[in-house]
């Protein structure tokens, strides 16, 4: 068990949420996890347990502060924007990971896993897809406002260009950090995992009911290793 990870949900979290168990410990040595990290191309269709899902989501974007009041995260984001949201697409519907309460916020109850894939048939019925979504609305805050003020005050095109470049690069790099954290967690837990760019952005956005300010950046498909040919998700 990992302690000090759960915060009481605030009054703003009135949405329908399903609590996940506390994330479990991953005791694999970092060297061993890095040695085992692989992209897998086959997945059992067996559902991922809530314990494993909670642990993997915690690795992607979980609380690791020293106290209940400290909402420090397992993965970094530029300017601490926390602009990458993790959606969970499963047979029982679409959910949004809430790191503060270690829970899944209900989006809808349709199985949209097929919309997450293009060609790879073995990926299609994998039990879980994590979709990393850039939410532009979250790239606000003190540091961003300060940068805008500097640009406005100095009227410097160079600073404006630099600020623009930072905003463009950050969601991609911040997503990469989560992808790697999940690859390592999966390696430690013995779960198959594949990062994917092969998806249709418009189809994924529709399936996840995303707003205009939200863009899917990457999908990570998860599933247990198939135990035999009949365990493969055809
Ligand atoms: C951002 C990203 C996107 C990827 N997209 C795909 C993909 O669309 N299809 C695919 O088969 N593999 C995809 N991969 C997996 C890579 O092809 C894989 O990491 C590479 O072949 C190296 O293999 P390894 O991860 O086992 O070291 C992706 C990997 C990353 C990091």
pLDDT in tens, 101-123: 999 999 999 999 999 998 777 78
Per the CB < 8 A criterion, the answer to whether 9 and 101 are in contact is: yes
Nearest alpha carbon, ligand 1 atom 3: 196
Q: Report if residue 140 sits inside a domain.
A: no
What is the count of structural domains for the chain?
Answer: 1
Please state the pTM of the whole predicted model: 0.90
Q: How far is the CA of 26 from the centre of ligand 1 (A)?
A: 24
Residue 10 is predicted with a pLDDT of 44
Distance CA 69, CA 193 (A): 32
Nearest alpha carbon, ligand 1 atom 11: 196
Q: How far is CA 106 from CA 49, 175, 196, 197, 202, in A?
A: 18, 22, 24, 25, 21
Q: Report if residue 131 sits inside a domain.
A: yes
Q: Report if residue 146 sits inside a domain.
A: no
Q: Report if residue 127 sits inside a domain.
A: yes
What parts of the chain have a pLDDT lower than 50?
1, 3-5, 7-13
Q: Report if residue 75 sits inside a domain.
A: yes
Structural domain including 128 reads 17-135+175-231
Residues with CB under 6 A from ligand 1: 38-39, 179, 194-198, 218
Q: How far is the CA of 5 from the centre of ligand 1 (A)?
A: 31
Residue 31: which CATH number?
Answer: 3.40.109.10
Distance CA 198, CA 219 (A): 8
């Amino acid at each position: 068990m990992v302690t000090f990870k759960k915060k009481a949900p605030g009054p703003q979290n009135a949405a329908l949420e399903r609590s996940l168990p506390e994330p479990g410990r991953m005791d694999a040595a970092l060297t061993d996890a890095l040695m085992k990290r692989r992209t897998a191309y086959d997945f059992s269709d067996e559902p991922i347990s809530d314990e494993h899902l909670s642990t993997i989501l915690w690795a992607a974007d979980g609380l690791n502060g020293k106290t209940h009041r400290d909402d420090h995260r397992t993965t970094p984001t530029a300017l601490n924007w926390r602009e990458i949201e993790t959606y969970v697409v499963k047979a029982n519907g679409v959910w949004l990971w809430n790191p503060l309460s270690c829970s899944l916020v209900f989006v809808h109850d349709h199985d949209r896993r097929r919309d997450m894939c293009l060609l790879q048939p073995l990926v299609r019925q994998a039990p879980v897809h994590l979709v990393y979504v850039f939410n532009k609305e979250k790239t606000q805050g003190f540091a961003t406002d300060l940068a805008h003020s500097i640009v406005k005050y100095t009227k410097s095109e160079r600073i404006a260009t630099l600020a623009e470049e930072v905003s463009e690069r950050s969601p991609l790099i911040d997503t990469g950090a989560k992808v790697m954290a999940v690859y390592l967690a999966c390696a430690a837990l013995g779960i198959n995992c594949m990062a994917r760019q092969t998806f249709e952005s418009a189809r994924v956005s529709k399936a996840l009911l995303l707003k205009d300010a939200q863009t899917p950046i990457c999908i990570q498909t998860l599933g247990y290793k198939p135990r035999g040919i009949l365990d493969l998700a055809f």
